[in-house]
């Protein structure tokens, strides 16, 4: 039936999904000239709360800056638009997708003459890698596609066009029977999943894959804080794929994927071949925080009402 997004905010107006239309001659549709965010709001004891809204809006603005896209709204206005969509649709929890894109004016490759438009949509979205992968751990495969080097695409921007790279890797992984792809960088180091950052645990030390050509994940940052709080030593490292094969645990983080345990990589079971214990401990903590059950992290929540 497709995505049921109810009312969508488009260029300053809340309209029904069927009425949220743009031109098929939009520059973004042809050339990928868009930037976006993925944000989640969670049900809490005080109504819906958006997790790390300020950081997501900041990254949206930075992505737009990288693509030389002047956003016609302030961060405050973007935050208000996001809250309005949640309120208007009466969501208690949802996934939120703001998108800033070059509209239709000219279909020359040069984006600069095209108007900058914006929309915010939100809908219900469960376990990103599926319920089974969440229970038993996801199966990963190293992709033959590498993550774009920083002089090919701006990997710190969450730009639409970058996701041709991610979606090639994801489609191949799923077609081959895996849940998700791991993309290496041009040197052969592990970069990230098609939409997630990677962590591994070895001898009780938690390693976060360093930001090289990866997106600077907001969930990754959250998990670094949470794991340190739980008493784990956390280090950012470059790692090769075989270091993941021999890790005690591997997990992925992302707004959509939250904290997703990994059970195998390239046919090799990771640790026990089940969802790791530390992974599940960290996941539980994360879900407590996003759901407003930890006053120490209340500053990460924006209450909608």
CA distance readout (Å), 85 to 64, 164, 206? 21, 28, 37
Counting contacts by CB under 6 A, is residue 166 touching ligand PMP? yes
Counting contacts by CB under 6 A, is residue 289 touching ligand PMP? no
CB of 217 to ligand PMP, least distance (A): 3
CB of 211 to ligand PMP, least distance (A): 10
Span of 10-18, 113-121, 168-176, 247-255 interacting with ligand PMP by CB under 6 A? 247-255
Cβ neighbours around 303 below 10 Å, total: 14
27-56 mask for ligand PMP (x: CB under 6 A)? -----------x------------------
Counting contacts by CB under 6 A, is residue 219 touching ligand PMP? yes
Maximal C-alpha separation, the chain: 57
CB of 131 to ligand PMP, least distance (A): 20
CA distance 188 to 146: 8
CA distance 128 to 148: 23
DSSP notation for 112-140 = TTSPEEEEEEEE----TT-HHHHHH-EEE
Counting contacts by CB under 6 A, is residue 98 touching ligand PMP? no
CB of 300 to ligand PMP, least distance (A): 13
Task: Pick between residue 26 and residue 148 the one whose CB is nearest to ligand PMP.
Answer: 148
**Does the active-site annotation cover 1?**
no
Cβ neighbours around 217 below 10 Å, total: 24
Q: Enumerate the active-site residues.
A: 158
């Amino acid at each position: 039936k497709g995505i049921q997004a109810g009312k969508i905010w488009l260029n300053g107006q809340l309209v029904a999904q069927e009425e949220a239309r743009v031109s098929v001659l939009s520059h973004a549709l042809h050339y990928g000239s868009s930037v976006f965010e993925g944000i989640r709001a969670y049900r809490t004891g005080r109504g819906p709360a958006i997790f790390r809204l300020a950081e997501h809006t900041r990254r949206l603005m930075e992505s737009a800056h990288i693509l030389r896209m002047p956003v016609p709204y302030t961060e405050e206005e973007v935050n208000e638009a996001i809250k309005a969509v949640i309120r208007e649709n009466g969501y208690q929890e949802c996934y939120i997708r703001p998108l800033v894109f070059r509209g239709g004016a000219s279909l020359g490759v040069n984006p600069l003459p095209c108007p900058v438009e914006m929309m915010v949509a939100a809908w219900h979205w469960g376990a990103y890698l599926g319920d089974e992968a969440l229970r038993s751990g996801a199966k990963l495969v190293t992709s033959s596609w590498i993550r774009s080097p920083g002089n090919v695409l701006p990997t710190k921007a969450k730009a639409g066009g970058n996701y041709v790279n991610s979606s090639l890797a994801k489609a191949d992984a799923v077609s081959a029977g895996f849940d998700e792809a791991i993309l290496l960088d041009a040197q052969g180091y592990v970069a990230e999943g098609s939409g997630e950052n990677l962590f591994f645990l070895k001898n009780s030390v938690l390693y976060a894959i360093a930001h090289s050509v990866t997106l600077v994940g907001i969930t990754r940052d959250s998990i670094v804080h949470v794991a340190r709080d739980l008493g784990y030593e956390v280090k950012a490292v470059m790692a090769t794929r075989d270091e993941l094969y021999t890790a005690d645990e591997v997990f992925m983080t992302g707004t959509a994927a939250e904290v997703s345990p990994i059970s195998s990589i390239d046919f090799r079971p990771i640790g026990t071949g089940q969802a790791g214990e530390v992974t599940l401990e960290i996941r539980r903590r994360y879900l407590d925080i996003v759901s407003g059950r930890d006053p120490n992290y209340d500053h990460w929540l924006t209450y909608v009402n």
